[in-house]
A and B are shown apart, each in its own frame.
Chain A
Amino acid sequence: MKVTVDQDACTGSGQCVLIAPEVFDQRDTDGIVVLLSDSPDPLRHEDVREAARICPALAITLTQS
């Protein structure tokens, strides 16, 4: 799984951080998404998929690596 985030689209709702804190964080200056890992551990895939589905800004894209 390959994860990309769109920081321009991000609205800082923080839901990805709540669901998958090992993969997503928020930038201290403005709360915008920061990717901690673009190829997360398979154990995290289900959470990452949920975070992408829930994101209100459609800012998380998943592709097969």
Chain B
Amino acid sequence: MTEALSQALMFPMPRAAGCPFDPPPELSRRSEQEPVSRVRLWDGSSAWMVTRYADVRALLTDARISVDVAEPGFPHTNAVSKARDAQMKTLMQMDAPEHTTHRRRLTADFMVKKIEALRPTIQRIVDGLIDDLLAGPNPADLVEAFALPVPSLVICELLGVPYADRAFFQRVAGELVMDEGDPAHAMAASEELNAYLEELVDRKSAEPGDDVLSRLAVEQYRTGAMTRREIATMGQLLLVAGHDTTANMIALGTAVLLAHPRQLSAIRDAGDPAVVAGAVEELLRYLSITHTEARRVAREDLVIGGQPIRKGEGIIAVKSTANRDPAAFSDPDALDVHRNARHHVAFGYGAHQCLGQPLARVELQVVFGTLFRRIPTLAPAVPQEDLTFKPNAVFYGLRDLPVTW
């Protein structure tokens, strides 16, 4: 009976009206009462859902699970991601040892000290966009004017996309992340970007600069270790993983802080960068925007949280409830920018934990450390109930965020 009821539940589940920053209530109930349970997916298949902090961490470091989307039983997110996964295999779909080899081609580019060196550039991008915002119409849409261009321009810097190509790059990046659209449209954008990046690899090989594509062109393409297509795919992965994610964190983080004025002023008035850095960790924990969660398939039989899982069964590791687990965070449903939230799993856990996390951290630290200081009167231009959230997108966020000052 319980099994039959559980089977009927669809993942993802709806969030409660009026609580756009909290996980769906049914997900929280499962985490409390039935921490490992079955759910039904968009294509009629079913999977296990693992919801508690300790179980999520144990699962994501277990060598018996796989991220290989070609494995039967893999719980695909939606039709678009299934189609894209079939067309293009990135390190996110590779298990060790193949994954280790591919990831280590990029880890140097995201080292803490390498990303710290980018901080002044990121600060310049953020300040420039705030200058433009203040010079433009008031009210304005913070998503379009600020949240989307910040990560897009930062990725251009990182990859080494020339200034002349940035408008093109931003357009294709936008088309690539249209979640509810036609899979064919997203695939066409993906192909357009791949063709562009392949051509850019040639240009970088001929005239290398100080950027990721130049380094890959020189070290991997010239030596024959990687093809142009493989490097283009890697560039596209960095864009997909680093653009929409950060943009949604900026918009959603701003919206949640505008709804919590005391938390916002603690960030705005903090003279100490460590306070802003801590606040960013808390926002990552509290919002857990990767709400389609971490998808895996069992390569062997295993037991998680007392529940046997059979080889070939799909598993969803639910980071958003793990990040609200009272066993890991006291008073977990309170947003508290002063708490130590560094052990959150918003970037995942295990070998596939976000490669770009040092970059995401610095971007968000610069954004939240600058936005409210430069625009102390920033306020929502519409009531929260009029905001349009993205319940069906791969990454949770806001369609727009009208603000005034």
Contact = CB atoms under 8 A, between A and B. Distances in A.
Interface string B328-364: 0000000000000011000111110111011001000
A12 B104 contact: yes
B108 A31 contact: yes
A42 B112 CA distance: 24
B112 A26 contact: yes
B33 to A, nearest CB: 27
Contact of A29 (B103, B108, B349): B108
Contact of B342 (A15, A30, A56): A15
State which size class the interface on B falls in: 20 to 34
B110 interface: yes
Q: For chain A, what secondary structure do more than half of its interface residues adopt (helix, strand, loop), or is it mixed? A: loop
A29 B107 CA distance: 9
Given A26-B113, A30-B104, A31-B107, A57 B350 contact: yes
Contacts of B103: 11-12
A47 B61 CA distance: 22
A36 interface: no
A56 B348 contact: yes
B8 to A, nearest CB: 34
Contacts of A56: 60-61, 347-351, 353
A14 B111 contact: yes
Interface in B89-125: 103-104, 107-114
Nearest to B57: A56
Contacts of B357: 13-15
Contacts of A50: 342-343
Nearest to B109: A31
Interface residues of A, number: 20
B354 to A, nearest CB: 8
A54 to B, nearest CB: 5
A28 B108 contact: yes
B353 A13 contact: yes
Interface string A8-51: 00011111011100000010111110000000000000000010
A44 to B, nearest CB: 16
A40 to B, nearest CB: 18
Nearest to B60: A56
15 contacts: A11-B107, A11-B355, A12-B108, A13-B353, A26-B113, A31-B111, A32-B104, A50-B342, A53-B343, A54-B343, A56-B60, A56-B61, A56-B350, A56-B353, A57-B351
Q: Which 6 A-B pairs have the closest CB atoms?
A: A12-B107, A31-B107, A56-B353, A31-B111, A14-B112, A17-B112
Interface of A: 11-15, 17-19, 26, 28-32, 50, 53-54, 56-58
Given A26-B112, A57-B353, 17 more contacts: A11-B103, A11-B351, A11-B355, A13-B353, A13-B357, A15-B357, A17-B112, A17-B113, A26-B111, A28-B111, A30-B104, A31-B110, A32-B107, A50-B343, A54-B342, A56-B60, A56-B353
